[in-house]
Amino acid sequence: MDWREHPLLALAGLILILLATVYLLGRGCGCWNRARAIADAVDKAANKTATGKTAAGKAKKEWMDDCAEPPNWGKEEQKPKPAAAKPAPAPVPRVQPTASDDGEGGIPARPQKSSRPVDLGRWSPEDFFTAQRENDPRLIEAVAYLGKHFATKEGAEFLAKLLEPPSLDPAARRAPTSPALIETVIAALMSNGTATAREILGRLVAGTQETIEPELAATAALKALLQRPGKANEDLLFSVVTFPEQTAATDRKAIDRSKLRAVALEWVKESASEAFRLRLANAMIAADTPPAAFEQIWGALSDARIENLAAQITIYRSDRLPDRVKESLERQFAEQSRGELRRLLGCVPPDQLHSASDGVDASDGSCRVAELLWTPSFARLVEMRLRAAEGSEQGPRLLWLACTIPNSALRATVLQSMEQYWDEGPKRVEPFAASEESLPEPGFLLLVKQLPRKDVPAAAANSNAGEGKGSSVSRLPVGKAAKIAAARQAKDRQGRTAQQWLGFCEKLAQTMCRQFRAAALGRTDAEQIPAEFPVKLPPNMAVAAAHHAEWSEEFPRALGKLHLPPLRVYYVRIERKARPDKVAAYFRNQLHSAVRHVSDHGVWFDDFNLDKRKGNMRSVDVFIGKPNKDVGIVLDQEQQVTVELLAVEALPPRDGAAVELPPRGKQGMTVQLPSQPRVQLSSRLADN
């Protein structure tokens, strides 16, 4: 189509072309402007980064120029790495007015900005002194850092300088050493760990190291040494406890030595080893130990702790002990030995093993109390003192102790002591031997059964009746009648005494039955009746409880060297509905030599056999009664019956032989006991 034929259409098309051209040109200009703006922004960012790097480099160079070279604290220490950048220094708090402040009119000078490096590893010796002078709180941290990271001789010597008194030179004057700094320096010396550091701590305790606070420094150094009680430290502690005056060579008034001793003894009481306590005990009983030191050391070793036991035995052997110390030790020994007996006889429940021996943790099977108290040497010591103390107040205490130690020779001495004072009755042994809280060694029952015991129901009545008017005695001459009456009275007294011993024997056997029954009921496993049980049980009777202990098999290997006399203990409780007289007849047919005692509460068969040729001793007690002991029993009526059997058998040593003891006290009371073992026990004990 020719535009000349249609001029309007041609004009409209031209206008559209112009508009399109203008539009396209406008978009192109906007894109260019945006691209230019982005380019400008990139250039600005690059310029800013370059400027920052230049500033950081300049700051780093200035900081490195200001810092001194790292101090040389010793050949063993490596140089710490330099910091990557220097942060702003920590603000220094305003200090309180002191004598060393440089301000006027009592107003402290304004603290200056610290020039010490932030990195504590780059502090120089002068930095420490200026920090001390300016009360810089970072000094405590810097001292701790020095002790930990510069464990050298030079580091220890410099730490000691921080404790020295301030110089009198005003130019070099430092602030007084604070308690916190003293404790930190001493802790740093402990961290240093070198021989030089230990020497400095020793001089601080001795008071020979120059320091502004001698007593404070000595106490802190002693407490620090107590935390690491090595051989060298224990030697120093020993000198503090035993010879405190000799640890201060110069100014004794500057340090109160009694305070140091109190600190050391408190540590001994709570944390010292058994060997150190034993060493201290030997010093305590030395002839040249002053009475004051004797009492202070005894105060640290007097507690009933297993750690003290070896030391206490050493103290007990001394001849210079006051009576109160002897009494305390004898009571403690008896309680600890009794607890060990209960544990080794199985009378302590598993959940109470930790208190079986007064603070001794026996859950691991250890027998430390027995290893120390049941030795032949300690038994001989108790035996010797028991013989010397007969008739004194110490006698009953020693009897109590002796009755808890299973030893053949000691048993013989206990028997002789009871024979000598038989006329007094069992009052010497009854308070502890037959109480519910106590448990003597089972061989003690065998000793009691060798004493005269019998029922004398009407002895006093017959004696009084024989002295009445018209009797044959009244018609005799006065002198002869008086002799006969005195003889009868003596016989009556002996009868009553024998009855008291019989009652004590019954009470002792019943107490042992109750303790063994509690032990049997406290176990989760059922105890089997041993085949060698000395009495055959009635048929069709239910076994309610059973307990068996045989030392020759069950004692740990560690006790083999003690040569304890072998012993067997059996306990059985059975229950059944039956006639008591028929049950009694069943046991009568087996125990032909047993003595039968009948009371309102039941029947007691008391049997004892002593083989003089072999040295065997065996006791069998059978108690027949009702479950409720407070209710009387009718022997010929069927009812619920309980039977308790207790058998104790002492076996002779392999090389033992019966030994006839010389009579002491009452005539006609010679007995025979097995000799003390010399080489080994039975084959089973030796194998175990």
Q: What is the pLDDT of residues 18-55, one digit of tens each?
A: 877 767 776 655 554 555 655 565 456 445 544 554 54
| Torsional sign, CA 656, 657, 663, 667 | positive
Contact between 189 and 159 under an 8 Å Cβ cutoff? The reply is: yes
Task: List the single range of 82-96, 475-489, 623-637 with lowest mean pLDDT.
Answer: 82-96
Note whether 308 and 281 are within 8 A (CB).
no
Compare 245 and 159 and report the one with higher pLDDT.
Answer: 159
Residue 361 binned pLDDT confidence (cut-offs 50, 70, 90): very low
Lowest mean pLDDT among 152-156, 231-235, 384-388: 231-235
- Encoded tokens for 177: 């050493």
pLDDT level of residue 512 (50, 70, 90 thresholds) = very high
Q: Is 96 left (phi over 0), alpha (psi -120 to 50) or beta?
A: beta
**According to the model, what pLDDT value does residue 538 have?**
85
Kindly indicate the confidence band of residue 114, based on its pLDDT and cuts at 50, 70 and 90: low
Higher pLDDT, residue 670 or 560:
560
Q: Which of 130-134, 195-199, 468-472 has the lowest mean pLDDT?
A: 468-472
Q: Is the pLDDT of residue 523 over 80?
A: no
Quote the pLDDT of residue 348: 72
Q: Which of 21-35, 325-339, 558-572 has the highest mean pLDDT?
A: 325-339
263 and 270 in contact (C-beta within 8 Å)? no
DSSP 172-184: G--PPPPHHHHHH
The pLDDT of residue 2 is above 50: yes
Q: What is the pLDDT of residue 563?
A: 73
- Listed ranges 82-96, 471-485, 516-530, 631-645; the one with the highest mean pLDDT: 631-645
Q: What is the mean pLDDT of the chain?
A: 74
Predicted local distance difference test score (pLDDT) of residue 671 = 30
**Predicted local distance difference test score (pLDDT) of residue 644:** 94
- Model pLDDT, residue 351: 52
- Give the confidence band of 562 by pLDDT, cuts at 50, 70, 90: confident
Ranges 19-23, 169-173, 280-284: which has the least confidence: 169-173
In order of start, what are the domains of the chain with their CATH numbers?
120-271 (1.25.10), 542-687 (no CATH)
Higher per-residue pLDDT: 127 or 82: 127
Nearest to 74 by CA among 151, 188, 187: 151
> Which carries the bigger pLDDT value, residue 366 or residue 444?
444
pLDDT band at 480, cuts 50/70/90?
confident
Cβ pair 652, 527 in contact under 8 A? no
According to DSSP, residue 118 is labeled S
Rounded Cα distance, 264 and 7, in Å = 125
**DSSP 8-state symbol, 107:** P
Report how far residue 535's alpha carbon sits from residue 589's, in angstroms, rounded to the nearest whole number: 11
For the residues 270-279, what does the mean pLDDT come to?
89
Q: So what's the pLDDT on residue 245?
A: 54
CA–CA separation, 648 vs 446, rounded Å?
Answer: 8
Rounded Cα gap, residues 308 and 297, in angstroms = 12
Question: Can you give the pLDDT at residue 315?
Answer: 95
Q: Is the per-residue pLDDT at 176 higher than 70? A: no
- What is the pLDDT, as a whole number, of residue 93? 40
pLDDT band at 364 (very low <50, low <70, confident <90, very high): very low
pLDDT in tens, 231-269: 777 777 887 887 655 544 444 446 777 788 888 888 888
Q: Above 80 in pLDDT, residue 84?
A: no
Q: Residues of the chain with pLDDT > 90: what percent?
A: 22
The per-residue pLDDT for 278 is: 94
Least confident interval from 169-183, 191-205, 520-534: 169-183
Mean per-residue pLDDT for 518-530? 74
200 contacts: CB under 8 Å, gap ≥ 6: 156, 157, 159, 160, 189, 209
pLDDT at 662: 33
Instruction: Report pTM.
Output: 0.68
CA distances, 8 to each of 3, 15, 18, 489, 624 (Å) = 8, 11, 16, 172, 147
- Summarize pLDDT for 529-543 with one digit per residue, the tens: 777 788 888 887 788
Q: Contact, 554 vs 592, CB < 8 A?
A: no
The residue with greater pLDDT, 556 or 89, is: 556
| Confidence label for 374 from pLDDT (cuts 50, 70 and 90) | very high
Top pLDDT among 396 and 37 is at 396
Alpha-carbon span 380 to 417, nearest angstrom: 15
The pLDDT of residue 98: 39
- C-alpha separations of 445 from 147, 482, 519 in Å: 66, 39, 19
pLDDT on residue 623: 95
The whole-number pLDDT of residue 22 equals 67
- Please give the pLDDT value at position 285: 92
Q: Based on DSSP, count helices (H) and strands (E) in the chain, helices before strands.
A: 24, 8
Confirm if 193 and 151 have CB atoms less than 8 A apart. yes
Which tokens in the block code for residue 417? Answer: 């002591």
Tens-digit pLDDT profile for residues 426-454: 988 887 766 666 778 899 999 999 999 87
Q: Quick one: average pLDDT of 90-99?
A: 40
Distance CA 673, CA 69 (A): 88
